[in-house]
């Protein structure tokens, strides 16, 4: 090509349209809507768990970014050919892994609008609707959950949309930490103790680590099958008393409603009672199961929350709102603000000074924030309370159905009782084998390996996707119903798939 | 209505379609694409800064969520009537406030695809394409910036997409903190010192606060007009020596390329040299100006980055990628992983155990993460390096033009030299007034009040939106070019608007 100066070359290849040209936006936007609609139309046929090997994509893509622009049609083709094989289809009706990431049209559209406005809602001033809609929908959802008034803005508490539970726990922990350190002195940070159970989500441990809590001072109280893997109230009291005697300072308790391993439910009320005696901040993590509490028949699982300090659930898990959308309510927003506020000159404004507005930047880790409230608002309005309850009940009903199918097959057992829409089950080793071995430990190991094998065999087929947990030493398969497209027929087929693979293992 | 049981009522109102029904998705998706395309078509006519008063939305929306579903057409009408007035139009071509939040069609579509797949990409296993594409585009962008190989995966470093700079700084600080505390003992956390300048973004102070650094130990080195508000190298050395003598432990330095107040550039190379002598982690925060460094003529601003430990820029600021998308590169990913990793049973998998994959959950605060790489990939491919450079240069050219216009009007002055696409200017008080007062302090206060008045008057008109900064005691108006739709004509009109309002103030 010779030696044309870079600038000339670049000008030659410049595309004429503005990158936000409305007509081009319309054209390309419609293309992508159809692409995604087609994806949902055909999603059922795709292998649920991606079947690629590590490094697959590097082999398919160029070493560096293109110098010249490429058309959207080509890019979409590459999405289809190169990206799609590496996608695990969380939206597939045959997806029963981890916890659901339940998308919906309303959630999707809300995210589109938010991306379209693309405002940076750090404070009220930067786009008042972003802040005000968030406060309003958080009060709406709080009322649907029958949270006590003290968690709502109308009762001097308030809600905020965080990205994830990790952030929600970290923010509340920092608030609790600084409230305590202001009393006992900064130099005592190494004395602060955080409590959870051995079933508490690792987000708690990570938050404690980030907040500078001494790693030795994250106390995970052991649980057991005898109390369904819930945090034992008396063990907590003993641990607290022991720690105080050792010169430590109890700070924070994370109680879980619907643990990740088995959807166990910690006794919120009694735990709060103990915590109160020792001035411990209680956060209730209902990331998964919180959504179900909009149904009157499930609400009792969070009874006692009126004595907690903060409560969170992930609307992006089981509430039809796309990732990420963690709803956090606190009784004392000022403790968050004290710990997390900044006041740089360039953000000073009359509204903030008037103290009539919420500046959400002081309720979270990051300064910049997306307009997440739109998607939650669209979900609440598009479906309404009645349908949302029905959707959740339907998932529970399907899980119950699956539970029944497992119970009817003598080769299997339900490991822990089902509470919501997740079934924890496992295959039992053939009696002959247990007898032959006559060794409890060996037999347990064998059962675990057997189920691991069964799970891998099922997932490798691509027909359904489930994941595992280990509880009380027992390896179990978790079957979580909650993908939005799942219908009863998918659950029935899923069980057949499990049975077929069990058959193939010769058991 | 009498006493129909709740369940019956709920079933009566249930909508028949699945909330992710493909046909309905298609219909509603096209509606919203048109809604947003129309928005961009007409955005120029809207008042840029929202003109609502605190509490405006509460008056318009119901007290609680609807019981029954509502159609999308009605919801969009409410977006138009109720939400829109509370939006400050960051995408307006007349938006010159804060820093830009430069959207693009490609960024928007990438976000749509990500929302459509709605995968939770905590680790490689959960959706391999999400992780692999992220690593690939981070290497692509790293090469475009001519980052040293040691920051790329190909050189045993690596990049990750965080939400915001706040998170990027927090993660690197935690990594540095734990590396140091492992050496000197956890109980010495109160001795750790973090350095920045008085121009460093408040994200640094907030991160230090969250990480449990003693508030007294965030040392902001004073800057001055004489060195263009850059961090003075020798002051840093003196501060470090002083702190060591006082028994403290220097830990972390945040150097900024393009400060928020005035786009000042800290001397990265010399600062890294000093930091090296004392084993201090250097993070280079190029949130705004980093993007410009893909142009050869701007690259020198990050010279010396090869001696830093981490580097970040916000693609959602001035790189056509929708919020949120902060690109962070580190030389030693293992330090992040050591500080931030968790290993819960339910996420254990063969790929992780093989150590052939990246699990990004261990590079960030949260466990769950969106598939953000798609939007950055689409931006890089849709525009190509050549156009991206041209877009940025065009913004710089427009800012330069505005600077020239300011310079020609004797009533105004440029407060600090323009470096990128932001002009910091102010109105001078009329000479007569300065003479009349004969008091330097009073006169300075008067000048500040005058510019505050001018800015408020301009912004209240809704025709353009700018924000302010205070530097060296001087209140100045910041004019940041970077909204994607801005063309030269908008800049010209913007200046006329400023002049008209100055005229109206009778000056």
Q: How close B498 gets to chain A, by Cα (Å)? A: 19
Ranking A265-274, B207-216, B376-385, B440-449 by mean pLDDT, the lowest is B440-449
Compute the count of residue pairs across chains A and B with CB atoms less than 8 Å apart.
491
Residue of chain A nearest B287, judged by CA positions:
A368
Is the per-residue pLDDT at B7 higher than 70? no
pLDDT at A433: 55
Is the per-residue pLDDT at B491 higher than 90? yes
pLDDT at B501: 97
pLDDT at B364: 97
pLDDT at A117: 98
DSSP state of B355: T
CB-CB: which of B55, B127, B206 is closest to A86? Answer: B127
Is the per-residue pLDDT at A69 higher than 60? yes
**Residues A383-426 pLDDT 10s:** 999 999 999 999 999 999 999 999 999 999 999 999 999 999 99
Question: Average model confidence (pLDDT) for chain B?
Answer: 94
Side-by-side strand order, sheet with A467-471:
A412-416, A422-427, A474-480, A467-471
**Residues B222-278 pLDDT 10s:** 999 999 999 999 999 999 999 999 999 999 999 999 999 999 999 999 999 999 999
Q: How close B59 gets to chain A, by Cα (Å)? A: 11
Structure tokens at A165: 């539970």
**Sign of the torsion formed by the C-alpha atoms of A88, A91, A93 and A97:** positive
Residue of chain B nearest A87, judged by CA positions:
B127
Whole-number Å distance between alpha carbons of A316 and A166:
13
CB under 8 Å to A299, separation ≥6 — which residues? A145, A146, A293
CB-CB: which of B140, B261, B324 is closest to A65? Answer: B140
| Cis, bond preceding B191 (omega within 30 deg of 0) | no
For residue B424, give Cα distances in angstroms to B263, B327, B384, B476.
Answer: 9, 27, 31, 6
Confidence bin at B438 (pLDDT 50/70/90): low
- Just give the CATH number of A120-370: 3.40.640.10
Q: Which fold has domain B388-504?
A: 3.90.1150
Q: How close B21 gets to chain A, by Cα (Å)? A: 8
CB-CB: which of A14, A91, A132 is closest to B86? Answer: A132
pLDDT at B433: 56
Tell me if A165 sits within 8 A of A189, measured CB to CB: no
**Interchain pair A296, B6: CB under 8 A:** yes
**Domain extent listing, chain A:** 22-86, 120-370, 383-504
**DSSP per residue, A26-67:** HHHHHHHHHHHHHHHHHGGGS-SS--PPTTTTTTTS-SS--S
CB-CB: which of B20, B39, B113 is closest to A103? Answer: B20
**Was domain A383-504 assigned CATH 3.90.1150.10?**
yes
**Interchain pair A210, B101: CB under 8 A:** no
CB under 8 Å to A498, separation ≥6 — which residues? A454, A458, A464, A477
pLDDT at A449: 94
Tell me if B467 sits within 8 A of B261, measured CB to CB: no
Q: Where are the alpha helices (DSSP H) in B86-164?
A: 105-117, 128-144
Q: How many CB atoms lie within 10 A of CB A64?
A: 15
**Interchain pair A72, B382: CB under 8 A:** yes
Q: Report CA dihedral (A276, A282, A288, A290) to the nearest 10 degrees.
A: 50
Among residues A109, A28, A10, A34, the alpha carbon closest in space to that of A75 is found at A28
CB-CB: which of A90, A113, A385 is closest to B118? Answer: A90
- Just give the CATH number of A22-86: 1.20.1340.10
Residues of chain A with C-beta less than 8 angstroms from the C-beta of B33:
25-26, 29-30, 33, 112
Q: Check for a shared fold between A22-86 and A383-504.
A: no
- Just give the CATH number of B164-358: 3.40.640.10
Among residues A281, A273, A258, the alpha carbon closest in space to that of A416 is found at A258
CATH class of B18-47+50-86: mainly alpha
Residue of chain B nearest A40, judged by CA positions:
B22
- The count of residues in chain B is 507
With tokens 């089950």, the residue in question is: A425
| Cis, bond preceding B77 (omega within 30 deg of 0) | no
For residue B407, give Cα distances in angstroms to A413, B365, B417, B454, B471.
Answer: 81, 46, 11, 17, 19
With tokens 């300065």, the residue in question is: B434
Among residues B264, B279, B313, B250, the alpha carbon closest in space to that of B417 is found at B264
Structure tokens at B93: 């071509």
Confidence bin at B5 (pLDDT 50/70/90): very low
Q: How close A315 gets to chain B, by Cα (Å)? A: 13
Q: How close B14 gets to chain A, by Cα (Å)? A: 5
- The count of residues in chain A is 507
Burial of B170 (0-12, 13-18, 19+ CB in 10 A): buried
**Residues A284-299 pLDDT 10s:** 999 999 999 999 999 9
Provide, rounded to the nearest whole percent, the portion of chain B with pLDDT above 70: 94
Confidence bin at B441 (pLDDT 50/70/90): low
pLDDT at B101: 96
Is the per-residue pLDDT at A440 higher than 80? no
CB-CB: which of B140, B343, B354 is closest to A54? Answer: B354
Provide, rounded to the nearest whole percent, the portion of chain A with pLDDT above 90: 92
- Rg, C-alpha atoms of chain A: 25
Tell me if B152 sits within 8 A of B135, measured CB to CB: no
Residues of chain B with C-beta less than 8 angstroms from the C-beta of A368:
163-164, 166, 316, 323-324
Residue of chain A nearest B177, judged by CA positions:
A212
Is the per-residue pLDDT at A507 higher than 50? yes
Whole-number Å distance between alpha carbons of A31 and A25:
10
**Interchain pair A354, B101: CB under 8 A:** no
**Interchain pair B112, A113: CB under 8 A:** no
Confidence bin at A17 (pLDDT 50/70/90): confident
Whole-number Å distance between alpha carbons of B116 and A101:
11
Q: How close B322 gets to chain A, by Cα (Å)? A: 6
């Amino acid at each position: 090509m010779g030696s044309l100066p870079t600038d000339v070359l670049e000008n030659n290849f410049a595309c004429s349209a503005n990158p936000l040209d409305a007509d081009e936006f319309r054209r390309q936007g419609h293309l992508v809507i159809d692409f995604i609609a087609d994806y949902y139309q055909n999603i059922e046929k795709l292998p649920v768990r991606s079947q690629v090997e590590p490094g697959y994509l590097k082999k398919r893509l160029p070493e560096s970014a293109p110098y010249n622009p490429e058309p959207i049609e080509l890019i979409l083709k590459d999405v289809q050919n190169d990206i799609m094989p590496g996608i695990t289809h969380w939206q597939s009706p045959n997806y029963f892994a981890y916890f659901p990431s339940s998308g919906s049209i309303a959630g999707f559209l809300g995210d589109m609008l938010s991306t379209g406005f693309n405002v940076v809602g750090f404070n009220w001033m930067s786009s008042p609707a972003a802040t005000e809609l968030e406060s309003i929908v958080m009060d709406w959802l709080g009322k649907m959950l029958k949270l006590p008034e003290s968690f709502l803005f109308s009762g001097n508490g308030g809600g905020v949309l965080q990205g994830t539970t990790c952030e929600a726990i970290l923010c509340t922990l920092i608030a609790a930490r600084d409230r305590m350190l202001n009393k006992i002195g900064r130099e005592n940070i190494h004395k602060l103790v955080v409590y959870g159970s051995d079933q508490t989500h690792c987000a708690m441990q990570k938050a404690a680590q980030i907040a500078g809590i001494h790693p030795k001072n994250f106390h995970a109280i052991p649980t057991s099958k005898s109390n369904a893997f819930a945090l034992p109230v008396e063990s907590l009291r003993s641990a607290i008393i022991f720690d105080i005697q050792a010169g430590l300072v109890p700070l924070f308790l994370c109680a879980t409603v619907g643990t990740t391993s088995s959807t166990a439910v910690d006794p919120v009320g009694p735990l709060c009672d103990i915590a109160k005696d020792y001035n411990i901040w209680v956060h209730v993590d209902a990331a998964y199961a919180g959504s179900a509490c909009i149904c009157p028949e499930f609400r009792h699982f969070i009874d006692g929350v009126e004595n907690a300090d903060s409560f969170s659930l992930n609307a992006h898990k089981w509430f039809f709102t796309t990732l990420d959308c963690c709803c956090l309510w606190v009784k004392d927003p000022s403790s968050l603000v004290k710990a997390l506020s900044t006041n740089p000159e360039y953000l000073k404004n009359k509204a903030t000074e008037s103290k009539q507005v919420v500046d959400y930047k002081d309720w979270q880790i990051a300064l910049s924030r997306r307009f997440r409230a739109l998607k939650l608002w669209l979900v609440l309005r598009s479906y309404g309370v009645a349908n949302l309850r029905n959707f959740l009940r339907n998932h529970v009903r399907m899980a119950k159905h699956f539970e029944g199918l497992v119970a009817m097959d003598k080769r299997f057992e339900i490991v822990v009782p089902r509470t919501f829409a997740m079934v924890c089950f496992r295959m039992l080793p053939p009696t002959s084998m247990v007898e032959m071995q006559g060794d409890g430990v060996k037999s347990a190991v064998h059962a675990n390996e057997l189920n691991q094998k069964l799970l891998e065999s099922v997932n490798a087929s691509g027909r359904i996707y489930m994941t595992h947990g280990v509880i009380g030493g027992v390896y179990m398969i978790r079957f979580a119903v909650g993908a939005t497209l799942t219908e009863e027929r998918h659950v029935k087929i899923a069980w057949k798939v499990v049975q077929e693979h069990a058959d193939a293992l010769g058991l």
